[in-house]
Structure 1
Amino acid sequence: MDRWTGVLHVPFSRGGSLFRVVASLFLSPAKTLAVPRVNAILFTGDRVRCTGDPAIERLSDAAHLAGVLAGKLPVETNAWVIDAACFAGPFAVYRELVPTMDGAGDPKGYDPTGLPAAAGVANILAHSIGEIQNRFLRFSAKDSAVNQHPSASLPSYSPPRTIILGFSKGVVVVNQLVTELSHWAPGSMENTVDVLRPNPSHLTQNLLVPTSSTDVLSSISEFHYVDVGLNCAGAYITDHEVIKRICDYVVHAGKNIRFVLHGTPRQWSDPSRSWIRKEKDIMLQVLRDEAQRSELRLVPSEKLYFEGRPRSLLMHFEILEAMDIS
């Protein structure tokens, strides 16, 4: 099946900074955007320049990563790789999605008020789809929605699942979304029908991507932490209450959510940042404890890559090709 792959520069708000987004989207036989089963979204980390290592340079390229990500998932998957809109030197600053951070992009905490990351992801995807259809494919969102499922009735429609991945410092967006899901979930459980059945008015606008913060959060089925690490605390969620509320949500809603912690010795065995492994171990134990209570609807796992090899910057990037997200 054919795919459309391209680089976009998407405004978060009028006059604001541009997010660099690389999309690899599968197409229908008519060469229009097809409605995916999954939207997989990878947030990248800090910039790495002039290493002299062609493998690192290749794996630092978001365009290459979009192809890698698409190749790891079923064909009916749309892959999105998103770079931070702003950088402080080499440091990625995701301030639009994680407002509580310092000038170097390190989080001061994760505040779910207003669901900024979920709303931001919906905004970025909507702008991206609009630009692709109007500028590159010359095809309207309305026509795409109608043509892809002409006989489908809206009440039976199952929206695409969303898989969230954070590589290195991109974890700040993952943790913000986890915190927002935990904050949003208790209220959503008061009306399960609205959570499990998407709003028909949203469906008529666009079947391709979630169109609101609620749509983003309710569609998430997996969180992947990919060799994440920060120069401060906050690379992993260690608040038991956050995970507990998500556990309550999956049990009540009857859905599954996977948490997969992927790592290398580069991060998990770094003696100068020992807190990274400690945070990882705490989060994994909390997830495992809650998994038992969730009737195994909460599904945690950890995967170590390149065990026994000396720590290196190369392995930090090689995990992107080696990671198993099936």
Structure 2
Amino acid sequence: MRSCSRETASAEPGDPVIERLSDAAYLAGLLAGKLAGEANAWVVDAACFAGPFAVYRELVPSMDTVGDPERYDPTGLPAAAGIANILAHCVGEIQNMVTGDSLKVSRSIEDPRASRLLHSPPRTIILGFSKGGVVVNQLMTELSHWASISRKSSVDVSQLSTAPSTHNLLVPTTASEVLSSISEFHYVDVGLNCAGAYITDHAVIKGIASYVHHTSNNLCVALHGTPRQWSDPNRPWIQAEKDRMLRLLHDKAKRCEGRLLLAEKKYFDGRPPSLLMHFEILEAMDICWF
């Protein structure tokens, strides 16, 4: 079973395509349909907006009043903890709605088939769309930091990366479980009106590669983009940051024995940049490359 977390961006109403692709329920179904096998898709919107600008302060505390990141600080693992709280709350609400659910869960744990589930914990696929890319950056920073602290504390990260969730069979419900369950990061046409759309911190990238090197799991980083972000002459830093992050990842991936997987795909190339294509990528994107 997979869990998929994704951040959305706000848009001006009017265009029916943009309005459809801004609807959380529609997006959840769309994402679930793109994932192979059984999957849960969770759409996480910004808790508040500063005018048209999404603000993810609960997940990325170090940001200004319009939600632009000032830095990516892993202290306290705020993004991982926030996502864990959201998932745990949602699952709790669902369980409360289903009569006898607690009894069913108890019986499933006693069932021999449940032991197989416990050895196959959830895989989490993180997608950050538009400004939601800041949450992906925060999670990358937290994963790098968490893995480093775990190694210094003599904790076997290879075991952490495959440890089953002790609280729920379906979703990770603690910050550590969220981070250890992540198998893929997808940047989906991310961009900002300032620097920080992609992770270019060498120490963070080095920590990610070290984490993969010391575990037995693959980690995939995929970049999806359109001319709206990657070919914007007024914001050349977006492409520059994207290219720098990929170079750093490619360099560090060499010591990961093929388990740090990287991919890049540009959509609607040749079309003039538009807000519409920025949203249409949600339907066009391929997230089953690996």
TM-score between both structures, scaled by the size of structure 1: 0.83
Measure, in 1, the Cα distance between the counterparts of 2:72 and 2:265.
25
The corresponding residue for 2:6 is: 42
Q: Mapping of 1:269-284 within 5 angstroms?
A: 269-284=231-246
The corresponding residue for 1:198 is: 163
The corresponding residue for 1:143 is: 104
Alpha-carbon deviation of 1:191? Answer: 2.1
Secondary structure in 2 matching 1:165: strand
Per-residue CA deviations over 1:152-193 (Å, capped at 9, x if unaligned) read 338962211000000000111111000000101123333226
Uncovered stretches (5+) of structure 1, i.e. residues with no partner: 1-36
Q: 1:107 aligns with which of 46, 58, 69?
A: 69
Measure, in 2, the Cα distance between the counterparts of 1:71 and 1:83.
20
Per-residue CA deviations over 1:73-92 (Å, capped at 9, x if unaligned) read 12311011111111112211
Secondary structure in 1 matching 2:155: helix
Q: What percent identity do the matched residue pairs reach?
A: 65
Aligned 8 A contact 1:228 1:235 in 2: yes
Measure, in 2, the Cα distance between the counterparts of 1:323 and 1:286.
24
Q: Mapping of 1:66-145 within 5 angstroms?
A: 66-135=28-97, 137-140=98-101, 143-144=104-105
Measure, in 2, the Cα distance between the counterparts of 1:288 and 1:314.
31
Alpha-carbon deviation of 1:253? Answer: 1.0
Alpha-carbon deviation of 1:321? Answer: 0.4
Per-residue CA deviations over 1:57-105 (Å, capped at 9, x if unaligned) read 1111111111110110123110111111111122111111110011111
**More deviation, 271-280/138-147:** 138-147
Secondary structure in 1 matching 2:214: helix
The corresponding residue for 1:30 is: none
The corresponding residue for 1:19 is: none
Measure, in 1, the Cα distance between the counterparts of 2:88 and 2:259.
30
Secondary structure in 1 matching 2:254: helix
Q: 1:220 aligns with which of 159, 182, 186?
A: 182
The corresponding residue for 1:32 is: none
Secondary structure in 2 matching 1:245: helix
Aligned 8 A contact 1:118 1:180 in 2: yes
Measure, in 1, the Cα distance between the counterparts of 2:131 and 2:103.
36
C-alpha change, 1:38 and 1:156, in structure 2 (3 Å) is closer
C-alpha change, 1:234 and 1:78, in structure 2 (3 Å) is same
Measure, in 2, the Cα distance between the counterparts of 1:148 and 1:232.
49
TM-score between both structures, scaled by the size of structure 2: 0.93
Secondary structure in 1 matching 2:126: strand
Measure, in 2, the Cα distance between the counterparts of 1:129 and 1:324.
28
C-alpha change, 1:90 and 1:293, in structure 2 (3 Å) is same
C-alpha change, 1:262 and 1:145, in structure 2 (3 Å) is farther
Stretches of 4+ moved more than 4 A in 1? Answer: none
